[in-house]
Structure 1
Amino acid sequence: MKKSQRKVAIVTDDPGWHGRQLTRSLKDHGLESQYVSLSDCIIEINGTGKEIFIPGFNTPPLGIFVRGVPGGTLEQVIFRLNILHALYNSGITVYNTPKAIERTVDKALTSLLLSRAGIPTPTTWICETPEHAKIILDKETANGKQIVLKPLFGSQGVGIHLLDNKSGLILDEKFAGVYYLQRFIERLNNEYTDIRVLVVDGVAKAAMLRRGKEWLTNCAQGASCESLILDKNIASLAESACKILNIDYAGVDLIQDKTGCFYIIEVNSIPAWYGLQSVVDYEIASCLIDSFVKHIARINQLSFF
C-alpha cells in the first residue's frame, strides 16, 4: 500500500491534548494522520464519483476518526453529518459512524431509544413552548423536587440549569426553542457524584467516579476524577446502552440514586478522556486506535495491521 493510502483523517476543530494522543497512537500503527475540520470540506456532485473533497487528501482517507462535529445552524450541522454519511457509504471507516453520532448527539432521541429498550433513564420531558415547559416544571417542583434543564445538543455541562419552584423557568438561547427537562436524581448522602464508563466494541473497559464541587459533575466544570472498579452491574448496563445505540465506542454516564438503582443519563459518541486517563494505568488513545484500526482492516480486508 502506498504511503498516501496509509493516511487517516482526525475530524476536529480543536485537536489539543486528545489530538496529540491519537496522532501518536496512529504512528505506532504506521499510520499518518491529519486534522480536518468538516467546515472546510466540500461536496461536489459532478457525476465523476469523486464527491467529497477533504483538505490535505488527494485520495480518500483510509479512515475517519471523529473527534468533534462543530456546532452551527441546523443546515450546517446537517451538511457536516452528510459529509460523514457520504464517506461512510463509500466504504470508508468512520469511527464513530454518523448514525451513531446522530443517535447520541440528540439527547431526546437517546432517551427515547434507551427507555423503549427498558434501560433505566430518568423521567424526561421534551417540548417546544415555554407554556408547556412551565406546566411540567410547576407540577414536578410543587413538592420541593428539582428538575434539570439541558440544551438538546451540547456537552461538558455547558448551558445546563437546575430548576426548582423558586427559580422558575429559565429562558436561554442555548435551548434553541426546545426544552429538554429531566427529573433530578437525588443521590446517596446528597453527594454530587456520577460515573463515567468507557465502552469500546461493546465491552466496558474502564470507569471513574466524578465528584463535583457543586451539582454539576462534568470534568470541564471542575469535578474531580477518582478511580472506580467496574462491577458487573455497571458494566452490563453501559454495554447494553451501547448495543442499543449500535455505537463503536462511547462514554456512558450513570447516576446511582438513594436506593442504589442506577440510571443512564447520557451516552457520548465523542467523549473526552483526559479525566479518565488520569485514573487508569494504560493509554486510552491506544485502546481506541487499536479498535479503529481493526475496523479499517476488516472493511478493507487488510492484514498488515
Structure 2
Amino acid sequence: MSSTKASADSSGTGLRVALFLEEESGNWHVRRLAEAMRTRGVDVVVTSLPRCAFDTQLASGIDIPGFDGALPDAVFVRSISAGTLEQVTFRLGILHALRESGVRVWNDARAIERCVDKSATTFLLHKAGIPTPRTRTMETQPPAVAYVDEAQRPLIYKPLFGSQGKGLLRVDDAAGLPAAEAADNIYYLQDFVPPSGATFEDWRVIVTRRRVVAAMARRAGTWITNVHQGGAPSPHEPSEEMAQLAGSALAAVGADYGGIDLIRTPDGRLLVLEVNSNPSWRGLQSVSEVNIGEAIAEDFLHAVAEHRCHQPEPRLAAQTQPCLA
C-alpha cells in the first residue's frame, strides 16, 4: 500500500472510507451509513477514534485500524466517543491531522468543537446574524445568580456539553441553579421560549450543505421535547424559512451536515436553539419517508468527489479515479 493513501479497491469507486462509530453504543446509524456507501461501491472500514494512534514510524504518521499505516480517502465521523478531556483532545487531534493530510473529514474537528460547546455555537450563530434566544454563558455561580436575579424571567440551564435533553433545568429564580460542582462551574443560561398553546413544539431539521434531508416536529406536554425524553415525533415538511435558517446555521458553524433545532416564539419569530454535528435520526426516521442514511451517505460521497477533483497534486493509487462531481 501507498504510505500516503490506502490502495484502491479494484471494483466500484475505488474509495476507501473510515467510518468512526461510538465505542459503547449501538450501531444502528453506522449500519445504515455503511450499507448505503457499500451499495455505491465504497470500501468502508468501520472503526473508532479510540483505536487510532499517532505513530512517527509511519510515513503518514497516523495509524487507523484496517489501513496498514496508509490513509483513507475520506472519513465519516459518526462519533468521537466519550472520554476524559485528554482522550477527547487526542481524538480531535487525529481528526485535525487527517484534515491537514488532505483527507476529507465529515464533520471535521473544527465543526465538532464548535457544536459540542454550546457557547461557541451560540456565539457563531449570533455573529452570523441568525436569531436565537438570548443566551449568557459564564463561569462560577455568583455571576450566574446575579444574572438570574437581574433577568427576572424564566431561563433554561443547559450543560455546556450536553445532548439529547439530558441535564436541562428550568430556572425561575437563583434557587433553581445547579450547584457549582454539578455544573462544572459553567452556566449556560438561555431565555425560556413559552409555547403558543397548551402543547410545546419545536422542530429538528437534518441538513447537509446540499439540501434539507428530512425534518420532524416534536411535541410534548412539557418544555423538554427531545424524543429521547419522551417527546412525540411527527412528520414535517419544513417551510422555505425553516430550510434557509437551518442551512444558514449549518454554514455558521462550518459543518457539512447536522441536526438543527428550531423553535417559534408566540409572536411568530423562528429561532435556532442548537446545532448538533453528530445528530441521531432514529426518531426522525420513524416518521419520515426519506431514507435518511442513504441521503446523508449520498451527500457525503458527493463532497468527497468534489474534494478529489480539487486536490492540487496528482492523485496516488486510490486517487486515480475520475471526478464524480
- Do the two structures share a fold, i.e. TM-score over 0.5? yes
Offset from partner CA, 1:162-218 (integer Å, 9 cap, x none): 121284211275632211111111120142211111111142232210112422111
Deviation at 1:103, TM superposition (A): 1.6
Read off the aligned partner of 1:7 and give its amino acid letter.
R
TM-score normalized with structure 2 length: 0.87
Matched residues in 2 for 1:291 and 1:16: separation? 20
Q: Within 2, Cα distance between the matches of 1:260 and 1:106?
A: 28
Q: 2:123 aligns with which of 112, 118, 121?
A: 112
- In the aligned structure 2, how far is the partner of 1:292 from the partner of 1:15? 22
Mapped contact 1:43–1:52 kept (Cα < 8 A): yes
Partner of 1:23: 34
Counterpart in 1 of 2:318? Answer: none
Pairing partner for 1:157 from 165, 169, 174:
165
Tell me if structure 2 keeps the 8 A contact 1:159–1:174: no
Match of residue 322 from structure 2: 303
**Partner residue of 1:37?**
48
Relative to structure 1, the CA distance from residue 150 to residue 231 in structure 2 (aligned partners, 3 Å threshold; closer, same or farther) is: same
Amino acid at match of 1:2: D
- The aligned residue for residue 101 of structure 2 is 90
Please state if 1:135 is matched with 2:143: no
Equivalent of 1:73, from 84, 97, 121? 84
Corresponding residue to 2:20 among 11, 35, 41: 11
Q: Which runs of 5+ in 1 are unaligned?
A: none
Distance 1:173 1:190, change over 3 A: farther
Q: Deviations over 1:8-42 (max 9, x none)?
A: 21111235211111121011111232322211211
The answer on whether the counterparts of 2:145 and 2:174 sit within 8 Å (CA) in structure 1 is: no
TM-score by length of 1: 0.92
Separation in structure 2 between the aligned mates of residue 190 and residue 34 of structure 1, nearest angstrom:
48
Counterpart-to-counterpart distance in 1, 2:176 and 2:34: 47
Match of 2:187 among 174, 179, 183: 179
**From 64, 74, 78, the counterpart of 2:75:** 64
Cα distance per residue 1:252-296 (max 9 Å; x no partner): 101111111111000111111111112221211111111111122
Percent identity between matched residues is 39
In the alignment of these two chains, the number of paired residues is 301
Structure 1 stretch displaced more, 69-78 or 275-284: 69-78
User: Is the 1:22–1:285 Cα contact (8 Å) retained in structure 2?
Assistant: yes
Segment of structure 1 superposing worse, 293-302 or 254-263: 293-302
Partner of 2:176: helix, strand, or coil?
Answer: coil
- Unaligned 5+ segments in structure 2 are 1-7, 310-320
- Match of residue 2 from structure 1: 9
Query: Does residue 218 of structure 1 match 2:226?
Result: yes
Partners of 2:204 and 2:111 in 1: how far apart? 19
**Cα deviation 1:79-118 (Å, max 9, x = unaligned):** 1111001011111111112211122111101101111221
Inter-CA distance 76–116: structure 2 relative to 1 (3 Å threshold): same
- Shift in alpha-carbon separation, 1:147–1:66, aligned structure 2, 3 A: same
Identify the range of structure 1 (200-209 vs 181-190) with the bigger mean alpha-carbon deviation.
200-209
Which residue is 1:49 aligned to? 59
Task: Identify the residue that residue 200 of structure 1 maps to in structure 2.
Answer: 208
In 1, distance between residues paired with 2:170 and 2:163? 16
